[in-house]
Amino acid sequence: MTIESEKQRIQDVSSLLYIASQSIRILTHVEWQRDVKRQFFADKCKELPKVTYPEFNPTETLSAVCDARRLIGNSDVDKWLERIAVKLEYSALMMAATGSKKFYEYSEKLYGKPTNPFVDGKSTPLGLAESFDTQISSYASYDLGAPAPMCYLASDIAEQMREAVIKMFGNEAPQVEIVDDLSANALASPKLIRIRKTACFTDLDAQQLINHEAHIHVATSINGLNQPHLKILAAGHPGTTKTQEGLAVFSEYITNSIDLDRLRRLADRIIAIQMAIDGADFLQVYHYFVQRIGNESQAYENSRRVFRGGVLTGGAPFTKDGVYLEGLIRVHNFLKAIAANGRADCLKLLFCGKLDIEDMPVIYKLEKMGLCKAPKYLPPWVKDARYLLAYLTCSGFLNKMDVGKIYSHYDDLLHSIPKASAE
């Protein structure tokens, strides 16, 4: 096979997988109707929500995946294409299984679960969430300063978002709309950013959404659409979710747009997912969130995220929300490895489209083959990477130090300082 015919084969597989991805709209499929919330509170929060989902026929997606597999070989590029094929197959089967325990089985395959270990083989997303919770709780007596103002209206946030996307994307900027029903406070696609009308925002939330949705999700989507040879890089699917959400949360982190409340929300979602896996039903998780945040409406929304698509009686939740912190750790560690190995040249490759960190060797190979185009849009902290690389350089050295001895020294120092009494 000639080089040109091989390149054409890869493009053909990519196109077939892109076709297969078009019906995969998981978050839209598992949205709850507005009446569900109204009825839940009308029932005094004592009855499980009554939820129905539209039927989904996976045949079209599975057929396109099957067509793609006929062309998939055994090279490194082919193994990447096969990983995508598997994710799309599982996604279609999961959408067909909404409201059943099978939904959770596929969710676990696609997004993992809170007890799955990180690369180090021992740390887990659940352990991370519990650590964050304990650490943040220890700050309870500390004066953190004035809280962020509440509440900005969706219209205020939408206007800030419009200005940000026009500044970054120009003529390719997506529209920004306020909608009544949405599975999250905001959702982004390359042509449209939707903001939930009833959501309440702080001024920091606006920056979080810009750095999370616009600078990452929209940027990688448009960069993927601009790929002339690899259409699959424009498809957001569960195989890319950990990296995409990890990049998005890291974008909040590196731009000082994240706070303790945001970290706690992300940690609480992981803890709640594990509660549901262990058998807690919607009402038990709802009361957990009420106790945690004191806001019944938000407690409902948080619980809905855990149970959408799954089984409300417990044992089979939607595990996607576990990837935010897991993805943050994966991205953070990969970026530290980039700095430690002097491979800043790999940084921009992360934004060529929708991809996973583990795909990077293949993406590099595809770039050298002329099949993968450099990204047009980069988040500001990558476009001007001086601060990022300075931070990673310092972080890399700190990681080589004996952390145990350092903590022991400063633990002794701190223990010699009397704690201020709580007023």
Other C-beta atoms closer than 10 Å to the C-beta of 89 total 19
| pLDDT given for residue 189 in this prediction | 87
The answer to whether the CB of 27 falls within 8 A of the CB of 94 is no
Question: Which of 327, 329, 324, 368 has its CA nearest to residue 346?
Answer: 368
Helix (H, G, I), strand (E, B) or coil at 186: strand
CA gap 361, 366 in Å, rounded: 9
The answer to whether the CB of 71 falls within 8 A of the CB of 12 is yes
Tokens of 9: 């084969």
pLDDT-derived band at 22 (thresholds 50, 70, 90) equals very high
Please indicate, yes or no, if residue 418 is contained in any of the structural domains: no
| pLDDT given for residue 150 in this prediction | 64
Number of structural domains (the chain) is 1
* Residue 197 in this model has a pLDDT that exceeds 80: yes
* Residue 423 in this model has a pLDDT that exceeds 60: no
Range of the domain at 69: 3-411
Q: What is the pTM of this model?
A: 0.93
Residues 6+ apart with CB under 8 A from 242: 111, 112, 323, 326, 327, 330, 356, 357
| pLDDT given for residue 182 in this prediction | 76
**330-368 confidence digits (pLDDT tens):** 999 999 999 989 999 899 999 999 999 999 999 999 999
Please indicate, yes or no, if residue 422 is contained in any of the structural domains: no
CA gap 327, 252 in Å, rounded: 13
Please indicate, yes or no, if residue 419 is contained in any of the structural domains: no
* Residue 55 in this model has a pLDDT that exceeds 70: yes
* Residue 145 in this model has a pLDDT that exceeds 80: no
**286-338 confidence digits (pLDDT tens):** 999 999 999 999 899 999 999 999 999 999 999 999 999 999 999 999 999 99
pLDDT-derived band at 186 (thresholds 50, 70, 90) equals confident
* Residue 183 in this model has a pLDDT that exceeds 80: no
* Residue 165 in this model has a pLDDT that exceeds 80: yes
| pLDDT given for residue 228 in this prediction | 95
Tokens of 277: 């896996």
Please indicate, yes or no, if residue 423 is contained in any of the structural domains: no
| pLDDT given for residue 372 in this prediction | 97
pLDDT-derived band at 140 (thresholds 50, 70, 90) equals confident
* Residue 63 in this model has a pLDDT that exceeds 80: yes
**103-125 confidence digits (pLDDT tens):** 999 999 999 999 999 998 999 99
* 187-197 as b/e: b if 16+ CB within 10 A: bbbbeebbbbe
| pLDDT given for residue 149 in this prediction | 64
Please indicate, yes or no, if residue 404 is contained in any of the structural domains: yes
* Residue 378 in this model has a pLDDT that exceeds 80: yes
* Residue 422 in this model has a pLDDT that exceeds 60: no
Please indicate, yes or no, if residue 76 is contained in any of the structural domains: yes
| Peptide bond before residue 394 is cis, with ω within 30 degrees of 0 | no
pLDDT, average across residues 160-189? 89
| pLDDT given for residue 147 in this prediction | 66
The number of residues making up the chain comes to 423
Please indicate, yes or no, if residue 15 is contained in any of the structural domains: yes
Please indicate, yes or no, if residue 52 is contained in any of the structural domains: yes
pLDDT-derived band at 203 (thresholds 50, 70, 90) equals confident
**240-271 confidence digits (pLDDT tens):** 999 999 999 999 999 999 999 899 999 999 99
pLDDT, average across residues 388-408? 87
* 319-338 as b/e: b if 16+ CB within 10 A: bbbbbbbbbbbbbbbbbbeb
* Residue 420 in this model has a pLDDT that exceeds 80: no
